[in-house]
Amino acid sequence: MAARGSKAGRNEKRKLLATFINNLAAAFTLAGVLQPALALVQHQRTVTSAELTGSAAFLLVALVFLISARYIVSGLED
């Protein structure tokens, strides 16, 4: 059974989904980097190990989103 829609339509859906997931990756990257960076810049306190662990978790999720977006784009049809 053939896939529904045209090849161009399927490619556009893949590109939009990859763009959405890539934007999620960017948001998680900003969350993971800005929180400890702002604490250091403001000199209000030192960054705790819990904050660093949380930032690392956000960055790991961002990496997963980025890899997922690249995988989705790799399925584009010629």
Section 8-36 average pLDDT: 94
**pLDDT score recorded for residue 10:** 92
The conformation of residue 44, written as its DSSP 8-state character, comes to S
What pTM did the predictor assign?
0.81
Q: Report if residue 14 sits inside a domain.
A: yes
Determine the straight-line distance between the first and last CA of the chain, rounded to whole angstroms: 19
Section 44-52 average pLDDT: 78
Q: Report if residue 26 sits inside a domain.
A: yes
Q: Report if residue 1 sits inside a domain.
A: no
Residue whose C-alpha is closest to residue 28's, from 2, 1, 66? 66
Q: Report if residue 53 sits inside a domain.
A: yes
CA separation for the pair 26, 45 (Å, rounded): 26
Q: Which domain holds residue 33?
A: 7-74
pLDDT at 77 over 90: no
Domain total in the chain: 1
